[in-house]
């Protein structure tokens, strides 16, 4: 399958690396240095498995800053953008997730968007209503342990 991953932090890059063994994966980030490193098969984050897989496995993985290129043909878009918790405002900043959803709806509204980012309870329902998209789903927490 053609899969796009939005965000190449620990969450997005783990999934992109695993999925790129058997799928055509495009990983999007907004930081050029991260994209360059991944395309040189170097991990921007310290993680033994990600480093090993990038170096040793045959992966169908391209990192890019070009959201349109990545999202326009994807069957699935995994959203792993940051959602930092603001403890002063008692509020999750979901603006990066929404920025990705907006672009996917612009370039490829039929793609299924899988949110891996941490979001508040009820968020998926409210963003589906707000955007009118039935293609937004949530995949709950994984832990390495």
Site residues (vs ligand NAD, CB under 6 A): 6-12, 28-31, 34, 80-83, 96, 99-100, 116-118, 141-142
Minimum CB separation of residue 128 from ligand NAD in Å reads 18
> How far is 70 from 38, CA to CA, in rounded Å?
15
59 near 72, Cβ under 8 Å?
no
Which is closer to ligand NAD, CB of 7 or CB of 74? 7
CB of 129 to ligand NAD, least distance (A): 21
| Nearest residue to ligand NAD on Cβ basis | 9
Least distance in angstroms from the C-beta of 97 to ligand NAD: 8
Q: Which is nearer to ligand NAD, 27 or 58 (by Cβ)?
A: 27
Query: Closest distance between ligand NAD and the C-beta of residue 90, in Å?
Result: 16
CA distance 91 to 105: 25
Integer Cα distance of 59 and 57 in angstroms: 6
Is the CB of residue 131 less than 8 Å from the CB of residue 105? yes
Q: Output the smallest distance, CB 11 to ligand NAD, in A.
A: 4
Strands 85-86 and 24-28: unpaired
Q: Which is nearer to ligand NAD, 4 or 59 (CB)?
A: 4
- Taking the C-alpha atoms of 101, 71, 17 and 37 in order, what is their torsion angle to the nearest 10 degrees? -100
In contact, 75 and 111? CB cutoff 8 Å: yes
For ligand NAD, give the closer residue by CB, 16 or 59. 16
């Amino acid at each position: 399958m053609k899969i796009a991953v939005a965000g190449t932090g620990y969450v997005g890059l783990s999934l992109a690396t695993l999925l790129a063994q058997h799928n055509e994966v495009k990983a999007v980030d907004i930081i050029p240095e991260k994209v360059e490193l991944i395309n040189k098969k170097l991990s921007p984050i310290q993680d033994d498995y990600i480093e090993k897989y990038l170096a040793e496995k045959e992966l169908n993985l391209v990192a890019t800053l070009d959201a349109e290129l990545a999202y326009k043909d994807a069957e699935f878009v995994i959203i792993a953008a940051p959602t930092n918790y603001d403890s002063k405002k008692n509020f999750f900043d979901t603006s990066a997730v929404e920025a990705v959803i907006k672009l996917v709806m612009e370039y490829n509204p039929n793609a299924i968007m899988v949110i891996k980012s941490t979001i508040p309870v009820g968020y998926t329902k409210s963003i589906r209503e707000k955007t009118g998209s039935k293609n937004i789903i949530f995949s709950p927490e994984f832990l390495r342990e």
